[in-house]
Structure 1
């Protein structure tokens, strides 16, 4: 096993990694999908469903937390699965997670200009063509391409620059959500919950409705796994990295659940049904009712727009680091391991993902929904392989230093494998409610074949170097693990919050 010192600068603080993970999980779904969740499970039922889904993700997150703290190296899943399963398992796992990251960035490039049409109905100008029933306009394309280019440039300019953008936008998202929650308490009423606490009419149907939301909810938590990808750039002790990862999942569960309850407190079942048939933006309509002005609906839409950018930004970080780690192991062309000298960012990987993101809008929003679904399948597959790696390494390397050590690892690991495996099955079983359709399977197969091509070419070209894992030389210089002076107080607050939530 080759060893080297890290080529990256440690620029991420505890706050940075929290907002990167939280921002990745809180996208546009809380604005456009809340009404559907309530119709499917009821207000309390949907909130419970997200809590149950959060427990499912929590088990997977615990395995990630231990492995990330034990191996804080760029690439995350690549390193974990390589250590446990060897080069082939690592290739499959990392290639799958890259599909997920690229899929999300492509989808967000289409979602962003679509949201502008909600804010500015006259935005669409210059009709060009139609793809799968979706009309493509010149103004829509221009905005998508320009924003995609800017996000690529921001990420190339440095990880810290991307983190600053993430912080600003995540604060806006959180502020919009908190405003809605406060307004629902002040101006909402529990009377609106009548007839929509649960979606079913009997105890059995209520349980089925809650579980129906629970099955869908893990898809909205995808994104916490970006932290391991950038762990080599994190300027906090390894144990704290694990805690931050778990805290980000807990905060996402709380956010989604409270937003659902807030909407139910403000809008009765009839108003939600009318909103669904109208704009479809039930959360925005609830905000307008809570504040008694339509202007506030735009505040929620802006918050959702920020959510798109935070997810997009996080997955650019994750995808580029995953590609870098594969290139470091000679699994894909070595050019993708090149770092920009000044800012220490994987420039070629970022350019490739950026170009794909700029090309994606030409295919239309419908095709991007397909690639996003295919990417979510890839993420869930990687989660299952990481959970397996967690169990394998506990048996294979019991003495490995684990700064963040999970208690009852057999139970946690088994639950993580079962839960993530169940999510993979949901994509595969027809009629499950989450199964992939034929075009989405086509994308999964095409991506897999591209992986086979890379595998064959690189194995032939790099020979014995193919699949070699580069291990970092531990840097015990405590100065590299200390936060900047102006961040010390914030880090203390975060430490306290983590300990309260996790009870450690």
Structure 2
């Protein structure tokens, strides 16, 4: 096999945690808090997140063992390549890339929205309407500016991306936790009662908990970015450490969601927050200097979106790099920058796609979320199955194995399967034929064509387990 260049990076354990946690926590804890409260109430929402957190921790443990067994850039793709062979692995990588890149577009649109909230007096012009929503000049200009920032950061290499991620993540955590602690300290715990009330419309609270559990496939997605950085870890960072950091990032994110729901619901009656557009903003306004702190909340929300954007951008470049390194995409994409050691051509390709995707406008946000969630959870299922396969192929145990063995792996597989079924069925519950199916089908067709065209290239570069 032709030797390839190694990505340059010196990413430490705290930066690895920032990649994982920072890629998981985005805007949902502010933007859709009201929906969680309306569907499940505060206690039901916490139960949903705890259950989802347990499931995703088990899935994350499977990813941690896979990373220890196959410590190469490419994440889901490299795991599937080692377990199932090139053809199935290609589609895992292909859909993983679609999931990451879809989120880069979503983050660009979300960043533009938050800046418009912070600067409501900005003049704007509606350019056209798409998916029943206006696409404006400011959306495109702000989103494009953000995409260029992400491209520059990632062009400068993995170490620069990790430093940027660490700065945003730990800054965000410091301010967000201070706000939530202030709300919990001044709030009224009796507002959390009754714990399990009758929900509006007569639906039982556990329906909402189940919905939150299923959505944890998206809400707790992002820990895989740590696996993508395995070749760029600093010296002295063991594979066992990477595994522990990956699991810790999921636990921390699930607890953060629980804390956010509880702290907000202690500030105002949750039934009132359930009807608010931005429930967390309304809750923060109950603090002294509430209007000022509400703007601070929007600023840290902006920082949160930027860190998530950077994390998924990083993961997307590494997924495409893994595909190209194995011959599934043109090998010219694997050329690294002579100074920064970054896959700069892939960085630029994603930048172009990111900017082009902004043209879809905010009306496509639901499509982007559903497309990303479906792509990710299908890969969850296959990667959990890959643990069983690789345990049979590789007799020697790696530095980290899933605690609880086959029982936990089996539970992770079933949880991933449940989340995948939910992601596939949810679009059918809406009226009309799901556009998401058209997108996924078209992407699969494009992938099949790519696989045929690149057949000789990837057949000549089959993986070997012993490769470092």
1:464 paired residue number: 459
| TM-align CA RMSD | 2.3
Q: 2:417 aligns with which of 409, 414, 421?
A: 421
1:248 paired residue number: 249
Q: Is the Cα–Cα contact under 8 Å of residues 188 and 267 in structure 2 kept in the other structure?
A: yes
Q: Is the Cα–Cα contact under 8 Å of residues 426 and 434 in structure 1 kept in the other structure?
A: no
- The CA deviation at 1:211 is 2.1
Q: 1:318 aligns with which of 315, 318, 321?
A: 315
Do residues 407 (structure 1) and 403 (structure 2) align? yes
Please, which runs of 5 or more residues in structure 2 have no aligned partner?
none
Q: Is the Cα–Cα contact under 8 Å of residues 86 and 458 in structure 2 kept in the other structure?
A: no
- The CA deviation at 1:335 is 2.0
1:211-262 superposed Cα distances (whole Å, 9 cap, x missing partner): 2322223320010011111211012111101010000000001101000000
Q: Aligned in 2, Cα 1:216/1:198: closer, same or farther, shift over 3 Å?
A: farther
Distance across 2 between alignment mates of 1:151 and 1:431: 31
Q: 2:391 aligns with which of 387, 390, 394?
A: 394
Judge which range, 113-122 or 132-141, deviates more: 132-141
Do residues 262 (structure 1) and 263 (structure 2) align? yes
Map 1:53-452 onto structure 2 (within 5 A).
53-195=52-194, 198=197, 200=199, 205-235=204-234, 236-274=237-275, 276=276, 280-399=277-396, 401-429=397-425, 438-452=434-448
Q: Is the Cα–Cα contact under 8 Å of residues 374 and 423 in structure 2 kept in the other structure?
A: yes
Q: Is the Cα–Cα contact under 8 Å of residues 65 and 241 in structure 1 kept in the other structure?
A: yes
The count of aligned residue pairs is 465
1:463-487 superposed Cα distances (whole Å, 9 cap, x missing partner): 731x52266754xxxxxxxxxxxxx
Please, which runs of 5 or more residues in structure 1 have no aligned partner?
475-504
The alignment's TM-score, normalised by the length of structure 2, stands at 0.94
Q: Aligned in 2, Cα 1:435/1:88: closer, same or farther, shift over 3 Å?
A: farther
Q: Is the Cα–Cα contact under 8 Å of residues 56 and 216 in structure 2 kept in the other structure?
A: no
The alignment's TM-score, normalised by the length of structure 1, stands at 0.87
- The CA deviation at 1:145 is 0.6
- The CA deviation at 1:369 is 2.9
Judge which range, 248-257 or 416-425, deviates more: 416-425
3-state SS of paired residue (1:363): coil
1:477 paired residue number: none
Distance across 2 between alignment mates of 1:165 and 1:105: 16
- The CA deviation at 1:428 is 2.1
Distance across 1 between alignment mates of 2:196 and 2:139: 39
- The CA deviation at 1:389 is 0.4
Q: Aligned in 2, Cα 1:406/1:381: closer, same or farther, shift over 3 Å?
A: same
3-state SS of paired residue (1:367): helix
3-state SS of paired residue (1:366): helix
Q: Is the Cα–Cα contact under 8 Å of residues 107 and 306 in structure 2 kept in the other structure?
A: yes
Q: Is the Cα–Cα contact under 8 Å of residues 72 and 231 in structure 1 kept in the other structure?
A: yes
Judge which range, 45-54 or 408-417, deviates more: 408-417
Q: Aligned in 2, Cα 1:220/1:51: closer, same or farther, shift over 3 Å?
A: same
